[in-house]
């Protein structure tokens, strides 16, 4: 299986979007890391460098968007949070189509340590009216979904990951993806595993392990956290009757929180949430941290069995 | 079409002064009616707004969203009564709309909001954001090859927000000669005098230090304001800022230089006195 980082898909999407003369890239110094630099190299005339100033970046992007441009603004996920109120008041509230990309999301970011590991971005942006929040699982789906964002007339937040993980899609399979619709990757009726980002590949590995033990699972790549695919969750509630959510994010407020809110209000059923359990990260290899924090394939398998026993 | 207007003081200054007086009356009436709002910073800003809207901005009340319009960005969005009063004078909104200030469902929101009010180009209310927005609008105009200009009004207390200086640096880096700033320097912020809250020292030298072209003027002298606007247009190689020295609450004796009227409305008795003074 090929390994790839979703941030590379963001960079390649910008290159493909460049044929639209209204697409502009806005940077706060980290283009080398977020991969927006690919666009800068080929289209310096439509790349706006603002230095290390995330608050400024958000409102400059809003000004560009109200003048007919389609700004794609990126920095690390954690540093977008520094400008949360700018996103709230300056972008989401007036519903201005600025597309924000936060790279290096999650503890999988690794050795930079907790200051660089955003584990709350999905939660905070999900609270904002008008915002679309996506967290694709690999480079190919990131490219495909980012290109879809350009046609939206409302703002978005995309989280990408720094490190390579197994590629989920190919050029053919990715074409079925649609913002707001979860993608079913494997089907089974014992348990539904809802995952996003770098955890989708872990969920698939867990599904294989469960199958070898006679347990059939449905795995969903829930790349869109908001709007959440309620229709799919409703179907899976009927079919499987229990859920495990898996995310490289706090278990509070992100994918697990969103799924829990929907289920408890509509069709209460057992749910186990895998994610960072209300603590900060630390330096280490991403895979090491997943084991330490209870987010490994084995933990997903174990949670699946637990949740089935609770049915 | 050039957006530049040759001012040359050909305007009827007396009429501009009269317009500002009418606006001042609406400002105190609006805040009184709502029992809320920010009269002080509206009264300090209104002479500048009247001059800009009446003599400089290329805008059309029949077509508030025309692509090539100049943009006025009121970053100190709590001075919304000043904006609404001049938008009424310009024909963007009706007198009934003024009555909807801070009323549920009304188009005149507590802080200026582009989603609610025709003629408003920026949703403000959180200080420090308007200059960045104006920079984005100015960069877009440059990329479009358009001669449209952006005029951003900031407060002097607002300059305490760090984002202002992020934008100030970036505007100079990008040489946005079409970005114009006016600081309504009324020396009072929410709680008290700026000098008691956080001294700003020499504001003009701060902007100069960031590389901006700087001019100072009396923000209540209509001729000086017109000269300052003319000067803003003359600076095309870099962003320019006018430090307009103003009096908070200007025109109403008991509001002038009184921090209590930053965010407090006049009561019935105070309204009567204010309207008498603004005859």
Q: Which residue of B has its CA nearest to A50?
A: B170
What confidence tens digit (pLDDT) does each residue in A203-222 have? 999 999 999 999 999 999 99
Q: Do B170 and A69 touch (CB under 8 A)?
A: no
Q: Where are the domains of chain B?
A: 13-277
Chain B hits for A75, CB-CB cut-off 8 Å, are: none
Helix (H, G, I), strand (E, B) or coil at A16: helix
Q: Are A57 and A26 contacting, i.e. CB atoms less than 8 angstroms apart?
A: yes
Q: Does domain B13-277 have CATH number 3.40.50.10470?
A: no
Q: Which of A54, A120, A143, A272 is catalytic?
A: A54
**Boundaries of CATH 3.40.50.970 in chain A?**
3-166
H or E element at residue B168: helix B162-173
Q: Per-residue confidence at B9, pLDDT binned at 50, 70, 90?
A: low
Phi, psi of B213 (to 5 degrees): -80, 135
A61 pLDDT exceeds 50?
yes
For residue B2, name the pLDDT band (cuts at 50, 70, 90). Answer: very low
Q: What's the pLDDT at B10?
A: 74
The average pLDDT across A47-51 equals 98
β-sheet bridge partners, residue A193: A219, A244
Q: What percent of chain A has pLDDT over 70?
A: 100
Mean pLDDT of B267-277: 98
Annotated active-site residue A272? The verdict is no
**Torsion angle, CA of B64/B66/B72/B75, rounded to 10 degrees?**
80
The rounded mean pLDDT for chain B is: 96
pLDDT in tens, B103-113: 999 999 999 99
Query: Is residue A66 less than 8 Å (CB to CB) from chain B?
Result: yes
Domain spanning A3-166, CATH class: alpha beta
Q: What percent of chain B has pLDDT over 90?
A: 96
CA distances from A309 to A44, A190, A262, A267, B52 (A): 57, 10, 21, 18, 71
Cross-chain CB nearest to A60 (options B115, B135, B143): B135
Contacts with B166 from chain A: Cβ below 8 Å: 50-51, 53, 55-56
Give span(s): CATH 3.40.50.920, chain A: 179-309
| CATH for the A179-309 domain, from 3.30.420.10, 3.40.50.920, 3.40.50.620, 3.30.2230.10 | 3.40.50.920
pLDDT digits (tens, 9 = 90+) for B206-223: 999 999 999 999 999 999
Q: What are phi and psi of A105, to 5 degrees?
A: -80, 145
Q: What is the ipTM of this complex?
A: 0.95
């Amino acid at each position: 299986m090929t390994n790839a980082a979703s941030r590379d898909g963001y960079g390649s999407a910008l290159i493909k979007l460049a044929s639209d003369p209204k697409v502009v890239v806005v940077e706060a110094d980290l283009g080398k890391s977020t991969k927006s630099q690919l666009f800068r190299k080929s289209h310096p005339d439509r790349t706006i460098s603002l230095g290390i100033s995330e608050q400024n970046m958000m409102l400059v992007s809003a000004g560009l968007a109200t003048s007919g441009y389609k700004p794609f603004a990126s920095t690390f996920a954690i540093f977008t949070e520094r400008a949360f109120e700018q996103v709230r008041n300056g972008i989401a509230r007036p519903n201005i189509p600025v597309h924000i990309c936060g790279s290096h999301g999650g503890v999988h970011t690794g050795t930079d340590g907790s200051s660089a590991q955003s584990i709350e971005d999905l939660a905070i942006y999900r609270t904002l009216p008008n915002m679309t929040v996506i967290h694709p699982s690999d480079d190919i789906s990131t490219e495909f979904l980012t290109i879809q964002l350009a046609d939206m007339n409302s703002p978005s937040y995309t989280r990408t990951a720094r490190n390579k993980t197994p590629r989920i899609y190919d050029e053919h399979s990715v074409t079925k993806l649609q913002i707001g619709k979860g993608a079913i990757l494997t089907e089974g009726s014992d348990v539904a595993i809802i995952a996003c980002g770098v955890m989708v590949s872990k969920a698939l590995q867990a599904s294989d392990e469960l199958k070898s033990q006679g347990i059939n699972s449905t795995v969903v790549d829930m790349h869109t956290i908001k709007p959440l695919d309620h229709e799919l969750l409703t179907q899976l509630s009927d079919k499987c009757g229990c859920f495990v959510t898996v995310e490289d994010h706090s278990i509070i407020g992100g994918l697990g929180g969103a799924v829990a809110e929907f289920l408890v209000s509509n069709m209460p059923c057992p749910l186990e949430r895998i994610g960072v359990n209300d603590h900060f990260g630390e330096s280490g290899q991403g895979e090491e941290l997943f084991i330490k924090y209870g987010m490994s394939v084995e933990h997903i398998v174990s949670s699946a069995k637990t949740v089935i026993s609770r049915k | 079409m050039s957006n530049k207007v040759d001012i040359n003081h050909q305007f009827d200054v007396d009429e501009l002064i009269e317009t500002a007086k009418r606006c001042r009356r609406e400002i105190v009436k609006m805040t009184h009616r709502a029992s809320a709002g920010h009269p002080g910073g509206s009264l300090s800003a209104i002479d500048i707004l009247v001059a800009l809207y009446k003599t400089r901005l290329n805008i059309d009340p029949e077509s508030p969203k025309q692509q090539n319009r100049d943009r006025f960005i009121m970053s100190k969005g709590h001075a919304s009564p000043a904006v609404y009063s001049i938008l009424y004078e310009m024909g963007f909104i009706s007198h009934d709309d003024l009555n909807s200030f801070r009323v549920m469902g009304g188009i005149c929101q507590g802080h200026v909001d582009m989603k609610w009010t025709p003629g408003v180009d920026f949703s403000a209310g959180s200080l420090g954001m308007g200059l960045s927005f104006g920079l984005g609008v100015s960069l877009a105009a440059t990329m479009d090859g358009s001669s449209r200009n952006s005029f951003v009004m900031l407060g002097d207390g607002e300059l305490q927000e760090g984002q202002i200086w992020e934008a100030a640096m970036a505007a100079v880096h990008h040489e946005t000669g079409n970005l114009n700033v006016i600081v309504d320097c009324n020396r009072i912020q929410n709680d008290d005098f700026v000098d008691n809250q956080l001294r700003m020292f020499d504001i003009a030298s701060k902007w100069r230090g960031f590389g901006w072209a700087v001019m100072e003027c009396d923000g209540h002298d209509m001729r000086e304001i017109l000269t300052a606007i003319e000067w803003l247009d003359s600076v095309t190689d870099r962003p320019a800022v006018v430090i307009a020295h103003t009096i908070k609450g200007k025109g109403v004796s008991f509001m002038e230089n009184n921090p209590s009227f930053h965010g407090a409305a006049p009561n019935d008795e105070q309204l009567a006195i204010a309207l008498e003074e603004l005859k």
